[in-house]
Chain A
């Protein structure tokens, strides 16, 4: 099992690869089933956002093992070079959507993981880093 997975996100069929990579990473890190399911689901939402809002803009996932203070975990970094997000705070709020969605992908993903960092600006793409740690 390699420590790092790099996956291109350019088509809905890539969602399956994203979920598989996160499952494998969760198992290597020794996460329990509930945490594994939460990590995979959060990642699936973030990959969907890339497909919906940053189509064809070099969407990628890097998933890797992390360790600190004797605990292990998974870090998953979703990047794209799409249009970026104007109001990052609003995007993380339940119910905010510019695409006619329910606006629950980002805030929901944040609830499912231990750490979510969203970095974005109009014109300079979007990076979302999530981490899920062993309990």
Chain B
């Protein structure tokens, strides 16, 4: 997949994405649109977003991330956010950005297990 603001890898019906660097707002919003479109296009059932490459997440970036997760869920896919740096987590909590709705895990392996759990629960509920 080329041309997107961020590379997306697909394994089975799960999309893997890694966010890195100091992202400007335009890029953040383009990533949000791109990933939402990719879920719709591929019919993926899950998406794993690795944010370990983000050293700063301010309220705007956090808000776009939570909004994107909500949209992807509306499309019927589950999202796990993995690898939040400890300094970023501490900062977000103190800043007071509400991010309680995100499903998070320490690393990619645990994130995939979390996705599988979420999808089983989803099937039972639906």
Contacts and interface: CB of A to CB of B under 8 A. Distances in A.
B55 interface: yes
Contacts of B60: 48
B56 A19 contact: yes
A74 to B, nearest CB: 15
Interface string A48-88: 10000000000000000000000000000000000000000
Contacts of A34: 86-87, 90-91
Nearest to B58: A44
B87 A104 contact: no
Contact of A94 (B55, B58, B87, B96): B96
Looking at B55, B56, B85, the one whose CB has the most chain A CB atoms below 10 A away is B56
A57 B85 CA distance: 35
Interface string A1-35: 00000000000110110011000000000000110
A16 B94 contact: no
B74 interface: no
A8 B96 CA distance: 27
Contact of B56 (A12, A13, A40, A111): A40
A44 B60 CA distance: 9
A24 to B, nearest CB: 13
B59 A105 contact: yes
Nearest to A94: B96
Given A38-B94, A108-B94, A108-B96, A13 B58 contact: no
Contacts of A42: 95
Contacts of A38: 87, 90-91, 94
Given A34-B87, A104-B97, A111-B96, A41 B22 contact: no
Nearest to A48: B60
B51 interface: no
A98 B91 CA distance: 24
A109 B24 CA distance: 19
B59 A12 contact: no
B57 interface: yes
A134 interface: no
Interface of B: 22, 24-26, 55-60, 63, 85-88, 90-91, 94-98
Given A19-B56, A108-B96, 8 more contacts: A20-B22, A37-B90, A38-B90, A94-B96, A104-B95, A109-B95, A112-B91, A112-B95
